[in-house]
Amino acid sequence: MSIQANYLGMPLSIDELDQENLAYFAHCARHDFQLQKCDDCGLLRYPPTTGCPWCASPRATWTPVEGRGEVHSYVEVHHAIQPAFKAHTPYMVLLVDLDTQKGQPSETEALRVVGNLTTPDGALAPPDLVRQIGIGTRVRMVFSDVADALSLPQWTIDGAALQPTRPWRYPQE
């Protein structure tokens, strides 16, 4: 069964043939972050795909993964490309290195999960929060409920983690 929803006035759709993303978002709807773990080489992968990017095996098992990590890179968006996001600028898109499997299968690799920066309750972060974030900031996953069958994994500052004294930010201010 496909997923149809509306996010900030924007239609979101996952086709019924996209079994991997349907399974991924079925877990997310329960606020349960799971990734496919290859049955042959044992590595996790993101985003969801039909085959293992490391060994090409089609066999995998959905596995719970801790939603914690560190900002690998970010984009601070001031000019919304979608009208629905205009009221929320500046907003942040984060690329986060998960702690799980960081440095595997080679030292420069990690599971890098994309999401917006949000408040702890999953709303897009206000400008004062956006300014605190940079490369190296510790974050934890939260879910934004969009519809009954659809919740988006997002990122918020991990209040329990030791933070860098000054996370690295692009020189723009």
Per CB under 5 A, residues contacting Zn ion are: 38, 40-41, 52, 54-55, 57
CB of 153 to Zn ion, least distance (A): 23
Nearer to Zn ion, 37 or 138 (CB): 37
Q: Is 6 or 57 the residue whose CB approaches Zn ion more closely?
A: 57
Q: Which residue has the tokens 């600028």?
A: 89
CA atoms of 18 and 40, how far apart (whole Å) = 22
Pick the closer one to Zn ion by CB: 40 or 121: 40
Compare residues 14 and 60 and give the one whose CB is closer to Zn ion.
60
Token output for 7: 């996010």
Beta bridge partners of 64: 34
Give the shortest CB-105-to-Zn ion separation in angstroms: 9
What whole-number distance in Å separates Cα of residue 5 and Cα of residue 100? 30
Residue 20 CB, nearest approach to Zn ion (Å): 15
Smallest gap from Cβ 18 to Zn ion, in A, equals 21
What DSSP string runs through 105-122? Answer: SSTT---EEEEEBB-TTS
Judge whether 109 and 130 are in contact, CB under 8 Å.
no
